[in-house]
Structure 1
């Protein structure tokens, strides 16, 4: 059945502006975007009364939300995470598996496959982001040190086969033994490579970029920072034109001035807004988990007992508001950081990331204050569940 979204201003990515248009969805796909003057002869009509109609947000780095941690999540838990995300603006996500044992990592992969085969009323879990285990001990953050290791293509191939090709993204540290040389083979497995959790020097980082690394994980966080004599990994990723930089725009991980600096260096087409959220997203302060770690959240700030920051409580809807606030730019200018940029990075732009005829009907309705009033995932309107703890 056709559903028309009328009376709204549709975001046009190429023009970076909202235009008064009607949009038609059918069988989960956008089938028509047309002038409001064109007659509607059939289908259901949904009048959004002057609100903005924008692409659904894509979060490629998140460890959970609404009380559920990805590393311990069942199929049903993933659906609950996905429902919470959808109410906050995320229509597509990658679940980030924190470095864990082989047994637990494969268990999570199994639950992801079950969820992908049978789910409803939630964001689309497109695939998996592996944050490790090929990471630096020095910049491990919340990674369990005993499980970190050198490049192991056989292990990664096992994970990818177990995941039936659904590992889409991986974070590795350039200085870890074997990583620069392994990147082409990782890409051949269909996995986009990000570098991070790293104290790597400039030259080693550049080698990874030359070999095909396409992104930097939570830029400026858990990495050696720029020095005029030793640009390090931070200097390498900010300089490289083709590299995307993840940014956690919660005001804690990056000062607003740092967000503006990254955007000045990279441009608005090479920054990807991520949440790096943990199970505490959407819930009050308290004690939570991130993989094997205990995490304490105080005033919305998630930290390990030793004071090291451990993910965030950010949502994509809040990230949009922060980006507008931090940059002074319009919503139309910053939307690509949450939509087309992540889609391109994980090579999914042919079906998500913008509102175009033939693309998936992943759509948000926003009011004048950028609050999400409705979410459509593959053309289906997300129903709110008031009994959940996150509402």
Structure 2
């Protein structure tokens, strides 16, 4: 059955602007975008009353939300995380598995596959982001040090086989033994490589980029910072034109001026807004978990007992508002950071990331204050569930 979204202003990515258009969805895809003067002769009419019609948000780095941690999630918990995310504007996500034991990592992979085969009324879990285990001890952040290791392509190949190709993204540290040489092999497994959690020097970081690393994980956080005599990993990723930079725009991980600086250095096509959210997203302050770690959230700020920041409580809907606030730019200018840029980074832009005929009907309806009024995932409207305790 056709469903027409009428009476709204549709976001056109190529023009970076909203245009008064009608949009038709059928069988989970966008089948028509046309002038409101054209007569509609069939299908359901859904009038959005002058509100904005924009692509659904894509979060490629998140550890959970609404009380559920990815590393401990079952099929049912992935459903609940996905429902919460959809309410916040996320229509597609990668679940980020924090460095864990082989047994637990494979258990999470199995639950991801179960969820992908049977889910409804939630964001689309496109695949997996492995944050580790090939990471630096010095900049481990919340990673359990005993589980960090050198490059191991056979282990990664085993994970990818168990995941049936659903590992889409991995974070590695350039200075870890064997990583620069392993990046081409990782890419052959169908995995996009990001560098981060690192104290690597400029030259080693550049080698990783030359070998195919395409992104930097939560730029400026858990890494050696720029120095004029030692540009380090941060200098390497800011300089490289083709490298995408993840940014956590919650006002804690990055000062607003740092967000503006990254945008100035990289341009609006190479910055990807992520949440790096943990299970506390959508819930009050208190004690939570991030993988094997205990986390304390105070005033919405998530930290390990030793004071090291451990993920965030950010949502994509709030990230959009923060980006507008931090940059002083229009929604139309910053939307690609949450839509087309992450889609391109994980090589999924052919079916998500923008509102175009033939692409998936992942659509948000936003009011004038950028609040999410409605979410459509593959053309299906996300229906509110009264029992949800998250906000």
Is TM more than 0.5 here?
yes
| 1:116 equivalenced with 2:112 (yes/no) | no
Post-superposition Cα deviations, 1:59-108, rounded to whole Å, max 9, x if no partner, equal: 00000000000000000000000000000000000000000000000000
Task: Report how far residue 313 of structure 1 moved.
Answer: 0.1
1:380 aligned partner: 380
For 1:228, what is the secondary structure of its paired residue? coil
Post-superposition Cα deviations, 1:252-273, rounded to whole Å, max 9, x if no partner, equal: 0000000000000000000000
1:187 aligned partner: 187
1:94 aligned partner: 94
- So what's the TM-score if we normalise by structure 2? 1.00
For 1:76, what is the secondary structure of its paired residue? helix
For 1:183, what is the secondary structure of its paired residue? helix
2:127 aligned partner: 127
Give the Cα separation in 2 of the matches to 1:273 and 1:45.
33
For 1:365, what is the secondary structure of its paired residue? strand
| 1:236 equivalenced with 2:236 (yes/no) | yes
For 2:209, what is the secondary structure of its paired residue? helix
The number of residues matched between the two structures is 391
| Alignment of structure 1 residues 200-215 onto 2, 5 Å | 200-215=200-215
| 1:310 equivalenced with 2:310 (yes/no) | yes
Give the Cα separation in 1 of the matches to 2:274 and 2:384.
23
Post-superposition Cα deviations, 1:156-197, rounded to whole Å, max 9, x if no partner, equal: 000000000000000000000000000000000000000000
| Alignment of structure 1 residues 223-302 onto 2, 5 Å | 223-302=223-302
1:105 aligned partner: 105
Return 5+ residue gaps in structure 2 as ranges: none
| Alignment of structure 1 residues 31-110 onto 2, 5 Å | 31-110=31-110
- So what's the TM-score if we normalise by structure 1? 1.00
* Structure 1 runs of 4+ with >6 Å offset: none
Task: Report how far residue 388 of structure 1 moved.
Answer: 1.0
| Alignment of structure 1 residues 335-346 onto 2, 5 Å | 335-346=335-346
Return 5+ residue gaps in structure 1 as ranges: none
| Alignment of structure 1 residues 96-175 onto 2, 5 Å | 96-175=96-175
Task: Report how far residue 11 of structure 1 moved.
Answer: 0.1
For 2:272, what is the secondary structure of its paired residue? strand
2:176 aligned partner: 176
For 2:263, what is the secondary structure of its paired residue? helix
Give the Cα separation in 2 of the matches to 1:237 and 1:386.
44
